[in-house]
Chains A and B, each alone.
Chain A
Amino acid sequence: DAGVTQSPTHLIKTRGQQVTLRCSPKSGHDTVSWYQQALGQGPQFIFQYYEEEERQRGNFPDRFSGHQFPNYSSELNVNALLLGDSALYLCASSRQGLYEQYFGPGTRLTVT
């Protein structure tokens, strides 16, 4: 059983560009959450998707947007990249009603 997978593993972008990160949830999971983990910090909640809709959102600007597809996979889009967006972006999947999240290995985004 494949766990949560994310692509790409690493990404380097320039300030002002746009980026799309992808996540496939663990088999049987229908909910995807995205987190940003800056160096030396704990993960910060960006948003959660369920039934192809954004269900809950953390304290992140509208430059951060997402999408969930019918097969439950998800994308995170970040527009107008800033240097401060450099971080490890983690995707977590869960099953609705079960209170545990399984994390992928993350995508390391570097903005120069």
Chain B
Amino acid sequence: AQSVTQLGSHVSVSEGALVLLRCNYSSSVPPYLFWYVQYPNQGLQLLLKYTSAATLVKGINGFEAEFKKSETSFHLTKPSAHMSDAAEYFCAVSDTGNQFYFGTGTSLTVIP
């Protein structure tokens, strides 16, 4: 069985500060890992994905994530938060690329 745990349902950062959103996964096989962003009343947009290539993955809008097998983690970071980053962020895991298992999400607030 696969699952995703996102620590912190709400995260607040100041504009210009580091963004760190945490994701830990459980998978019996080497996983595929994803981060999605959801703006209010919209669908999910893919930020980045890990599919067993480089462990440090760069995505859109300056976000990146590092796959750490020993810690079963795939935390999302961005060096400097922007007001437009305020949204809901979801981590997801899949073993086959078919069924995705999503975390419960982290709401990011950026304080001006």
Contacts and interface: CB of A to CB of B under 8 A. Distances in A.
Given A41-B104, A42-B104, A42-B105, A103 B36 contact: yes
Nearest to A48: B98
Interface string A37-74: 00011111100100000011010000000000000000
Which of B34, B45, B98 counts the most A-chain CB atoms under 10 A from its CB? Answer: B98
Contacts of A35: 100, 102
Interface string B96-109: 01111111110000
Interface residues of B, number: 24
Interface of A: 4, 31, 33, 35, 40-45, 48, 55-56, 58, 90, 92, 94, 97-106
Interface of B: 4, 32, 34, 36, 41-46, 49, 51, 90, 92, 94, 97-105
